[in-house]
Amino acid sequence: MRKNLNVIAAYCIMMGLIILVGIFQSWNIALSIFNLCLISAVMTMGANIQWGYAGLINFGIMGYTALGGLAAVLISVDPVQEAWSKGGFDILMSLFLIIIMVFVVRYILKKYKKSKIRTYSIASIIILGIIIIRFTAEPGIEAIEAVNPAKTGFLGGLGLPIIFSWIVGALFAGVLAFIIGKVALGLRADYLAIATLLISEIVIAIIKHEDWLTRGVKNVIGLKRPAPYEVNLQQTDWFINLVEKFNLSKLNLISDLSERQAALNQFVIEGSSVFVKLCYSGLFLVIVITLLILTQKALYSPWGRMMRAIRDNEEAANAMGKNVVKQHLLIFVLGSAIVGIAGAMLVTQDGLFTPGSYRPMRYTFLIWVMVIVGGSGNNFGAILGGFVVWFLWIEAAPIGLYLVNLTTAGLDNSHFLKVHLIESVPYFRFLMMGIGLLLIMRYRPKGILPEKIEIK
Amino acid sequence: MAFFEGNNMTGGYGKGPDIINSCSVNVERGEIVSILGPNGAGKSTAMKAMLGLLNLKSGSVIIDGKNISHLSPQDRVKEGISFVPQNKNVFAGMTVKENLEMGAFLVDNDFKIIIEEIYNLFPVLKEKKDQLVGELSGGQRQQVALGRALMIKPSVLMLDEPTAGVSPIVMDELFDHIVKVKKTNVAILMVEQNAKQALNISDRGYVLVTGENRYSGTGKELLNDPRVRSSFLGG
Amino acid sequence: MDFVNAIILLLNYIFVPALAYGSQLALGAIFVTLIYGILRFANFATGDMMSFGTMVTILFTWYFQSLGISLGFLPTALLAIPFAIIFMASYMLLIDKFVFKYYRVNKSPPVQLAMVSIGVMFVTQAVVRIIIGPSDRRFFDGEKFLIKAGEFKEMTGLNEGLAIKSTQVITIIVTMILVSVLFWFLNKTRTGKSMRAYSDNEDLALLSGIDPKKIVMITWIIAGILATIGGALYGLDKSFKPFTYFNNMLPIFAAAIVGGIGNPFGAFLGGYVIAFSEILLTYAYKKFFMYVLPESMEPEGLVQLLSTDYKFAVSFSILVIVLLYRPSGIFKGKIL
């Protein structure tokens, strides 16, 4: 019970901090922090399943996030008919060729025994295949990218509601994880870390540069929302009435009618964006809570016990007839799929897909800091880690500014050191993350909320 | 008082249970002493205790009248105690010569003379001096391991199962080498699985059971002792 | 004549740049491999440590420039490097004392040390950005070209020019000297051999009386030298930007693993393998074929195997293939 008290206390403090931001900065900021905290929590849950349950290091989180984002684009954007008619056939043809190639390789792998000739012939099939596919796809790609490049220049998506992309994002990420897991999971822990990090860079390189599919660094903007638009809300009667009700006490203080109307308009504008964010919060909360229930159930199921057994003593588990390789692959796919959901959620919330913004610092290492800080192996810890670290990541700049002002209070405002430090305030977040991570690893290596070892 | 002795040693690894209980072993210079016993009897542990690789709860380790119970393994090496572990007892990625040089890391003066002495003892090492040890055969590797341990001109040489995993012919050869080393007035303490062959070349032997001394005596006595024969030497 | 032109073309656009880039990667890769071999963890702070060393070099360069000290046609940075090394080595030893030592003494698993190195990465990155800022900086002064393309054309009467930047030559020469000294140190001196012994078999090294503290200290100092020089050469040749340095960690890791991690000579060669394959696979050979093939067979496209956008992806793919088929690296030989 005392342990549970810890969890409750930690979460209360966290919520308190966010509420403080709401009161002192603005509710808008507080909610956007809260929403990203929720998305971060989904990511950390994915990483935590892999690391905490099974001891697998996945430094490829960025790649799965980006794939999730890509799913959001491919699901929600309307198809670009002109592009399809111009280059669609070539692309489909290439896709067909890729499938044929994969099947041929699989057939050879199955039919013939391992030998040098087999390896070389597979290699030559792949190389030949890539060349043929390039020649097939090239004209199509050029045609597609030439279609109104300022606005489209890509195939577009399916034009479905963006919410579906959360499932599809998970699927994309899961498939990628399956491929990576098949080839890389046998590696030693640190090799696996490096390999996944590099593979995620390859994924980003592809997303950035295959414009026909993703629009690349030209970004995709204006994605459809699952939540209402602010502009529409501001003209909806029930919403205006609602805002009026909420702020009645303040509005009643204003006697002048036109002033009152102006104030109300202001409230409506602010309220609309808060309302939209609240909609997202609701959606995200549903996901976080569903995932939390599922992962908790899994953790305490026989399967969860087996995973921990494998993590703690792989050889013994193997000797007891548990298929370690298969279980590792399964958990690698599951964890990555969850990260994929988070990637789709992120793009859904932003309403835009910017491949250039996927950087390992933000999408891989920061997530790992969250997992370590929160407490690996404990889902509540992982979620808390996501909240705490994201909160600090955002609030580091104001805190840094405050500290700089405090320490340089004696200096003149134009003193070069003070000016320089104030300019560098954005980078204090890195310092804070680094020092935080080092302190946690040193003095509380199991995280804020350590894994519970229950004896029944 | 023997030259090198461990008296009434009790202890185990870390915070685990005691593996050896009031176990005593001693060896004189120019003598080979074997520690024998069934699996899990604490043979290697007794030896490692004398080297300082585990903390003793009670008992003492004395060399040449000096109590070294509280010295670290590195400091005991400086006292002239050399140890050849059972596994990973060579630098596989370095040449034979470099292995020997590393053995002489603590020797301040010119070690080239000692290397020549080792080459005389193990002629095959001279032939292969520039080869990587990882590429040598099992028996040759063991010779490198012995040679490395002898580079500090030790007064005590401790061997942990020197013949584990080598063929019978190589085993005989290795035992010959160990006898040669003994003749240079070194005290040799070894743990062995091949009890019969070991006792053949040993001056004395100890039989440990569950971490305690069970029998002891000269090599011949133990070989002829019916109790020892029936339980450890296979009849 | 066309054939000579074609060769010069390849020299100018592939060979010389790849050699310089490969040297810069090689120094970084040896750094990674040394840390991995002796301290036994994958150091994710590699790129940022190099950026720290470069930053200190730049600060010293500015200081010397403000004093009016220069090396004539050579860049002032060369004078600043030794001072930067002292600073950098102290920084490394300080980090070791306050961060890594604790985990080493407790015999933590390598994974934990790798995680800790991520903490160091964040901190170092912050320090660099706070001190010098995130923007792109050039600190090269002195003579820019050893041979200019135009001069070369005039001299030889060829169509193709060969431009050799002085930074490229400096990079290659400094790398060769540094690497030779390093290998001499590791293979011929007692301390160097004891480092290799420690990396090979830690327990036996301890039993032989090798002092681990000294080994660790020397490793960090050498690492500091490699990081500073490798980083400074890269910065001189291209430019200094903290984010680029962080990204460079990736091809450096690739080079170290391709060469067989823990094997410095492999890492050295690995640097060139990565550099050459990146440039060879992304170069557009159209002009080359125009010279060597008869006019009727001239290619229409760029004859580029991969777009330059995929430069990094090339090295990573090589790495992945190596990891899958030969995790111990493609070069056999002595481990550290």
pLDDT tens for B21-33 read: 888 999 999 999 9
- Other Cβ atoms within 10 Å of A111 Cβ, number: 8
Q: What does the alpha-carbon distance between residue C194 and residue C204 come to, in Å, rounded to a whole number?
A: 11
Residue A455 has pLDDT above 70, yes or no: no
Residues of A within 8 A of C134 (CB-CB) are 427
User: Does residue A82 have a pLDDT over 50?
Assistant: yes
**H helix intervals, C15-165:** 16-34, 46-67, 77-95, 101-105, 110-132, 149-156
| Intra-chain end-to-end CA distance of chain C, in Å | 47
pLDDT digits (tens, 9 = 90+) for A372-427: 998 888 889 999 999 999 999 998 888 888 888 888 888 888 888 888 888 888 89
> Is some CB atom of chain A closer than 8 A to the CB atom of C71?
no
> Which of A197, A372, A428 is the closest to C115 by Cβ?
A372
- End-to-end alpha carbon distance in chain B: 34
pLDDT at residue A170, rounded to an integer? 96
Q: Residue B177 above 80 pLDDT? A: yes
Which of A209, A361, A435 lies closest to C123 in CB terms?
A: A435
Residue A446 contacts C, CB cutoff 8 Å: no
First to last CA, chain A: 15
Contact C34, C44 (CB under 8 A): no
Percent over 90 (pLDDT), chain C: 61
Q: Looking at residues A219-239, what average pLDDT do you find?
A: 87
Look at C133 and A206 and tell me if their CB atoms are within 8 Å.
no
Give residue A456's pLDDT band: very low, low, confident or very high (50, 70, 90): very low
C199 inside 8 A of chain A by CB: no
The whole-number average pLDDT for the span A46-65 is 92
Nearest CB among C111, C253, C254 relative to A189 is that of C111
Q: Taking the C-alpha atoms of C227, C233, C236 and C239 in order, what is their torsion angle to the nearest 10 degrees?
A: -50
Specify whether the backbone of A282 is left (phi greater than 0), alpha (psi in -120 to 50) or beta: alpha
User: How far is CA C140 from each of CA A257, C82, C233, C242, rounded to the nearest angstrom?
Assistant: 67, 16, 10, 17
> How much is the pLDDT for C334?
46
Instruction: Quote the CA–CA distance of A21 and A29 in Å, as a whole number.
Output: 7
Domains of chain B, residue spans: 4-80+154-232, 91-151
Residues of A in contact with C327 (CB under 8 A): 187-188, 191
Sign of CA dihedral B175, B177, B182, B188: negative
- CB of C133 within 8 Å of a chain A CB? The answer is yes
Give residue B97's pLDDT: 93
Q: How far is C126 from chain A (nearest CA, A)?
A: 5
What's the rounded Cα separation, in Å, for the pair A55 and A302?
Answer: 18
* C–A contact: 3+ Cβ pairs < 8 A: yes
- Indicate if the pLDDT at residue A351 is higher than 50: yes
Decide yes or no: CATH 1.10.10 for domain C2-325.
Answer: no
What is the SS3 assignment for B189? strand
Q: pLDDT band at residue B52, thresholds of 50, 70 and 90?
A: confident
- B91 closest CB neighbour out of C190, C200, C209: C200
Predicted structure pTM score = 0.90
- The interface predicted TM-score (ipTM) is 0.90
Please give the helix or strand (H or E) that residue B7 lies within, else none: strand B4-11
The CATH code belonging to domain B4-80+154-232 is 3.40.50.300
CA distance B74 to chain C (A): 6
Mean pLDDT within A39-49: 94
* More confident position, C275 or A251: C275
State whether residue C125 sits within 8 Å of chain A by CB. yes
Rounded average pLDDT over A330-356: 95
* Over residues A19-27, mean pLDDT: 90
CB atoms C190 and B101 under 8 Å: yes
Chains that touch B (3 or more CB pairs under 8 A): C
What confidence tens digit (pLDDT) does each residue in A5-20 have?
888 898 999 999 999 9
Residue % of chain A over a pLDDT of 90: 43
CA A239, CA A229: separation in Å to the nearest integer? 12
Dihedral sign computed on CA atoms, order A327, A333, A339, A344: negative
Mutation target to probe the A interface, by most A beta carbons within 10 A, among C41, C123, C310 is C123
Q: Do chains C and B touch (3 or more CB pairs under 8 A)?
A: yes
Question: What type of residue sits at position A255?
Answer: S
The chains in contact with chain C, meaning 3 or more Cβ pairs closer than 8 Å, are A, B
* Residues B164, B193 contacting (CB under 8 angstroms): yes
- Residue pairs spanning B and C at CB distance below 8 A: 60
Q: How confident is the model over B167-180, as a mean pLDDT?
A: 89
A38-67 residues touching C, CB cutoff 8 A? 57
The mean pLDDT value for B46-68 works out to: 88
In which residue ranges of chain C is pLDDT below 70? 332-336
Give the pLDDT of residue A441: 92
